[in-house]
Chains A and B, each alone.
Chain A
Amino acid sequence: MTIKMKDKKPKNVFKEGAISSEFIATSIAKHQSKTSIGAHNIFLGQVRADSINNRTVSAIEYTAYEEMANAKFHEIREAAFNKFDLNCMHIYHSLGKVNVGEICMFVFVSSPRRKEVFKAIEFIVEAIKANVPVFGKEIFKDKTHQWKVNS
């Protein structure tokens, strides 16, 4: 039987600025001691250089209703642990400015078996996009901006 590493209290998912590849690599390495894991799956959200009416996005500045957002991340974690056979799960989201090409979200799930992690990652990412109060100000190269809406 798998021991599920559930958290009792909401933890802070937010990190200031972009999520570095070193941070992601270190997270992966930390799981080498958890030998009941047979499959990991990772989702990385990257800031895209969208072109809107001839203006090109150069960065997104993220803000959040942090208290509610952390509560929602916690609900999503609990729901995912209940739905799927997971050993562990990590979610990180940026706050502040993240330039195009940089990572703004990192979701990492681990399970004994691969089928669970494919289903879990989609469930978690879609739930985050729909239910977590994070707001994104798309800053264009010409310094104008607009507010991003998840599609």
Chain B
Amino acid sequence: MKLTIKYFGLLAEVTKRNEEQLDFSGTLINELLDTIYLKYPKLKEIDFQVAQNNEIVSKETIITQTEIALLPPFAGG
């Protein structure tokens, strides 16, 4: 499955990109994060949440969408 991963804020700064395509053969968010951590080990030290289909999801969630976003702490308002 080809996924689009979106990075925001500090995460975009660390990965030096706003988004990228990843080939992914797993099932869960957790497994996707392992793949991403291999590529960007520094992300392990950073606080972030994962969003799928415009909702924050847990790491045990099954991936059903082709776009996954990694969101650092919110700072709106």
Chain A interface residues toward B at CB < 8 A: 45, 60, 62-65, 67-69, 71-72, 93, 104-105, 125, 128-137, 147-150
Contacts and interface: CB of A to CB of B under 8 A. Distances in A.
Contacts, number: 69
Interface in B35-59: 51, 54-55
A131 B76 CA distance: 9
Contacts of A135: 8-9, 71-72, 74-75
Interface string B53-72: 01100000000000001011
Nearest to A93: B76
B77 A133 contact: no
Contact of B54 (A62, A68, A130): A68
Contact of B74 (A67, A125, A129, A137): A129
